[in-house]
Amino acid sequence: MLWDPSYKPRLRPVEAFRIQDADRATIGLRDRSGLSDVVLSMSAPALHLLSLMDGEHTCDEIRSEFRAAFGQSVAMETLRTMLDHLERARFLEGPAFESYFQALLSEYRAKGVRKMSLAAPPGISDASGDLFRQMLPSDGQAPPVPVDRVRGLVAPHLDYPRGEPCYASAYGAIRRRPRPDRVVILGTNHFGRSTGVVATANDFETPLGRTPCDREFLTRLETRCGDLRRYELDHAREHSIELQVVWLQFLFGAETLKIAPFLCPDPCGPTGTIPSDGRGVDLREFATVLGDLIAEDPTDTLLIAGADLSHIGASFGDERTIDDAFLDEVRIRDRRALDHLELGDPDGFVRRIAEHDNSTRICSAGCIFALATALPGARATVLRYHQVVDHETQTCVTCAAAVYA
């Protein structure tokens, strides 16, 4: 591409990290979405140039601001070379990247199946499901609600060993439930492009088998609220749904039910449930339409939110040491938000998180909000709350298990 001085380059969302080599520290740049597997090494001045590639600054303005910051000029030809390099790395928004993305999307859709993105842990590598059998509570333990009345479930999307207490409580609550005909699984969009709700029509395949997507239900949903698959490729690397699918396959059989998978955005930002980039379906509208369809349909439908809560510690940018006082503060905040679910107040749940600018980085407010909004008449019961603490790395992730009946 010929980069004109008036062109306004826009860098795609990328992640910067420190690289330490023998001589000096540099900054690495990578695409968290996985759409590009290139890792670039940048100096601090080069990183400043990239920070100005926001779609608002022209090439001439970028050069001018760089000169003001560093007292030296960047030749237009040097900037062109950098832009060429960024475009080849798939780091720039524009026609070249869109063409590349559409090719990947077409390839994903043509397969018709989404294979598990995570390595299967020991115990689910075959149909035995020993890992889950060991997790579940004993048969004699009474479920928190009548098994035939469970309509919704909140379970973690942590890896199984770390999330075991809440996985056991959540899926133990439905182990005796009659097999649902359809399961709507609401996940978290950690790395994808969309800032709205995203569906996929692909089946899900795990070591326990292949579970079909309920495409007819998805079509009915899209007829009412609009296209949900513009960024369907967001599902390819997302783990929050597939971790629920394996549990469902273990409990009910891989091919005996249908699923409808959706990734939900964060509603705690300044635009609320409306997509922050203005593209896509509003989360509240989606959840309301979803609830209407389920209420109108005699098909036995179970809703699941694959949801983690707070993320704190050094790995997530906190300077504070993880100690008992910090963990207690996070527990109190998390539980106050969860209280709103038991009160039947999904908007209050979001407000409670947003009032502190989501400072503990709850990642799954969107899918929990959507589940609660889609089941307005159901009663929520929080079964368990769990904090996974690693003092060595100074990190903690929290999660909960809840049922709606």
Query: Above 90 in pLDDT, residue 140?
Result: no
Residue range 140-162: average pLDDT?
Answer: 84
Residue 131, pLDDT score: 80
Contact predicate 370/289, CB 8 Å: no
pLDDT category, 294, cuts 50, 70, 90?
very high
Query: Above 90 in pLDDT, residue 133?
Result: no
Q: Which tens digit of pLDDT belongs to each residue from 55-96?
A: 999 999 999 999 999 999 999 999 999 999 999 999 999 999
Query: Above 60 in pLDDT, residue 226?
Result: yes
Query: Above 90 in pLDDT, residue 143?
Result: no
**All structural domains of the chain with their residue ranges:** 15-93, 114-404
Angle at 324 between CA 318 and CA 327, to 5 degrees: 55
Residue 167, pLDDT score: 96
The percentage of the chain sitting over the pLDDT mark of 90, rounded to a whole number, equals 83
Q: What is the rounded average pLDDT for all residues in the chain?
A: 92
* CA 150/CA 175 separation, integer angstroms: 11
Assess if CATH 3.40.830.10 describes domain 114-404. yes
Residue 300, pLDDT score: 96
Query: Above 90 in pLDDT, residue 166?
Result: yes
Three-class SS state of 194: coil
Q: Where are the alpha helices (DSSP H) in 71-214?
A: 76-88, 95-111, 130-135, 160-172
* CA 255/CA 249 separation, integer angstroms: 8
Lowest mean pLDDT among 33-37, 53-57, 208-212, 238-242: 33-37
* CA 355/CA 268 separation, integer angstroms: 9
Q: Which tens digit of pLDDT belongs to each residue from 245-264?
A: 999 999 999 999 999 999 99
Q: Which tens digit of pLDDT belongs to each residue from 354-379?
A: 999 999 999 999 999 999 999 999 99
Amino acid at 351: R
Q: Which tens digit of pLDDT belongs to each residue from 88-125?
A: 999 999 999 999 999 999 999 999 999 988 766 655 65
Residue range 342-357: average pLDDT?
Answer: 96
Q: Which tens digit of pLDDT belongs to each residue from 312-322?
A: 999 899 999 99
Query: Above 70 in pLDDT, residue 384?
Result: yes
Q: Which residues contact 118 (CB under 8 A, 6 or more apart)?
A: 159, 239, 242, 243
